[in-house]
Copies of this chain bind each other. A is one copy, B any other.
Amino acid sequence: MKGWIDVTAPLQPRLPSYPGNRPFSLCWVERLESGGPCNLSALDIGSHAGTHVDAPLHFIEEGAPIERVPLADLCGPCRVVDIDDARRVDLPELRRTLRGRVPERLLLRTRNSRRKLMRRKSFAKDFVYLTPEAASWLVEGGARLVGIDYLSIERFGFKSPDTHRALLGAGVPIIEGLELSEVRPGSYELFCMPLLVTGADGAPARAALRSPA
């Protein structure tokens, strides 16, 4: 049996939250220890909390909502690459890392993972992001999915969301908030399954890798 590598950030109180997003919380409706019939909880959660998928609708007026992002794009062969110590993933950095070849699905493991940013409650503004030029190059090369290891793929404090627009405008969904600290670069099979929320701009997801057969 091939093993699973979970690349989902656990939803728990220390989870960082992007400014303006609803922070995650779990509340208990029933508890066995208090004499309830069962343990029963409920979640209050932003669509972009933790590990999540951005659908085109997030930044594109007539873009596809999350239920129209095909599982065939979100799941399949995938490459995880290590971006050494760059403060941003720009076109020269990405070309060099990928040796000029764009994979169908690409997960960027950056300095964000080495800093374990997804495990720190306080939001880090200086996270590593993908530049718009690098995003456009991935689209031109035929990428179907791009993922990154912090809560946004776009430079914090952007004037115009050009990285999102380059990807989402071409119908390429984005996985943000991946937990890649323990993952080695290489080829995998990715399964990324966001909640099926009708009409939403994105949704929290479970994402995991399997080693190729």
Shortest A42–chain B CB gap in Å is 4
- What is the interface of chain A mostly: helix, strand, loop, or mixed? mixed
Per-residue B-contact encoding for A30-68, CB less than 8 Å = 1, 0 else: 101100011111111111101100000111010000010
Contact across chains for A71 and B4 when beta carbons are under 8 A apart: yes
Within A107-153, the residues touching B (CB, 8 Å) are: none
Q: How many copies of the chain does the oligomer comprise?
A: 2
Task: Name A208's contact: one of B1, B40, B71, B76 (CB within 8 Å).
Answer: B71
List chain B residues, Cβ under 8 A from A57.
Answer: 39
Closest to A194 in B: B206
> Footprint of B on A, CB under 8 Å?
1, 3-4, 6, 8-12, 20-22, 26, 29-30, 32-33, 37-48, 50-51, 57-59, 61, 67, 70-72, 75-76, 161, 164, 191, 193-208
